[in-house]
Amino acid sequence: MPNLAILLAQISVIVLAARIVGWLFRRLGQPQVMGEMVAGILLGPSLLGWAVPGISAALFPSASLEFLNSLSQIGLLLFMFLVGLELEPRILREQKHAAVLTSHASIIMPFFMGTVLALYLYPRLSDDRVAFTHFALFVGTAMSITAFPVLARILTERNLTRSRVGTITIACAAVDDVTAWCILAGVVLLVRASSIALPLWLTLAGTAVYFGIMLFGTRPALSRLETLYRARVAMTQDLMAVILVLMLASAWITERLGIHALFGAFLMGVIMPKNQLFVRAIRERLETLTVVLLLPLYFAFTGLRTSIGLLRGADMWFYCGIIIAVAIAGKFGGATFSARLSGMSWREAGAIGLLMNTRGLMELVVLNIGLDIGVISPALFTMMVLMALVTTFMTTPLLKLMYPTPELWQEFAAVKTARAA
């Protein structure tokens, strides 16, 4: 039974810290979520636990963390559902020619470089309970991630959503998201194969059946929800309850199948009807509570597992530096190069590479899964959290350099003229 007083104190401190640091980062021109991620790390052993261990131990006793984790996982399920909900197949169809090469190359190149890096890191940061194949596949996946929600927010803040760069990047990020989550599901399945009760063939068959039912059974049936919504012209509480239960049921099934609950929540969001009013109504009901209250708990939980103190010695910081360099070279380089070869200018291609390099929250989700299933060590987890922070932090200032406002308006004018012609 959780201690309610401690839990309330934890939530209050976490939400307050997330808002304050988020506000500070907004003042620095960074997205709010970047500050919230940093706030989580400041509340962990890297700062609070190191500076005032007594207060840290009183506020976050280890026995209380399980409940905090459960709450944060519910928040994450809701968030992943919202991410899936906002994915629009229409965008992918419109931009498919330009997006296919760029998005696939921007997944494969960092994945390849991550696998090369795994050869170097495996003897140095892993142990003999982790098979090299699992380790390499996981490092590759972690390198390939793009933070679709953070990216969308940066594009909106920079007024880039209407530009060619914006539309192609959104399409690429959407393809990246779906592909990376599928790869991760496969990796989780492989790693968990030895520990879950179901035999591997049954898990694979169950997963195939689940996808089939979701795409060809549930998806058409969900259009009735939209019809109901239109008939009542409001998102009623009953309708909302049905949507939430469906999302939780889908998450439960994927968790039981061994491919993690997050995939179920994400897929349910992806197959939801994409009527704009319907999507907005669901988002308005869920987003504030999820983003303001529950997601900061996830950041804090991640921060409590991130210990910069584990990076003792020059060698550990050297590995960290290599991880950051490879992550940037793979994602930024891969996306920029392929976008350029697809016929975009160097500036546009660079902006796409920069945006695709944003990892943000999605990277934290992947890393936490890796730590949970034991495929990465705590020190590697910390290094990759730092990599996620660096790659997210660098996006906005470099994008401002690459796309100063006058050039942006010139591009809008050019697009407008081209459309008119």
Contact positions vs other proteins (CB under 8 A): 53, 97, 100-101, 104-105, 108-109, 111-112, 115-116, 118-119, 122-133, 136-137, 140, 194-195, 310, 312, 316, 334, 337-338, 341-342, 374, 377-380
Structure tokens at 346: 């160097």
Q: Which is nearer to other proteins, 27 or 129 (CB)?
A: 129
Closest contact distance (angstroms) between CB of 123 and other proteins is 5
Question: Encoding tokens for residue 324?
Answer: 């950051």
Q: Which DSSP symbol is given to 333?
A: I
| Among the listed residues 187, 190, 160, 186, the one whose alpha carbon sits nearest the alpha carbon of residue 173 | 160
2 or 374: CB nearest other proteins: 374
What are the Cα distances from residue 181, in Å, to 117, 119, 207, 301, 348?
Answer: 21, 23, 14, 22, 27
CA dihedral sign, ordered 200, 201, 205, 208: positive
Cβ proximity to other proteins: between 127 and 238 the closer is: 127
**Is residue 300 a contact partner of residue 290, using CB atoms and an 8 Å limit?**
no
Q: Which is nearer to other proteins, 14 or 143 (CB)?
A: 143
Cβ nearer to other proteins, comparing 132 with 409: 132
Shortest distance, position 383 Cβ to other proteins, whole Å? 9
B/e letters for 227-244, b = 16+ CB within 10 Å, e = fewer, are eebeeeeebeeebeeebb
Which helix (H) or strand (E) segment holds residue 288: the answer is helix 276-288
Residue 346: how many CB atoms within 10 A of its CB? 11
Minimal distance, residue 106 CB to other proteins, in Å: 10
CA 303 from centre of chain = 16
Return the sign of the alpha-carbon dihedral for residues 363, 366, 369, 373.
negative
- Pick between residue 19 and residue 340 the one whose CB is nearest to other proteins: 340
Question: Which residue number, 199 or 397, has a Cβ lying nearer to other proteins?
Answer: 199
Minimum CB separation of residue 185 from other proteins in Å reads 17
Residue 407 Cβ, how far from other proteins at the closest point, in Å? 27
- Rounded to an integer, what distance in angstroms lies between the CA atom of residue 362 and that of residue 373? 17
Q: How far is the CB of 391 from other proteins (least distance, A)?
A: 20
Place of tokens 């520990």: 195
Closer CB to other proteins, residue 126 or residue 357? 126
Residue 305 C-beta: closest distance to other proteins, Å: 11
Smallest distance, other proteins to C-beta of residue 310, A:
6
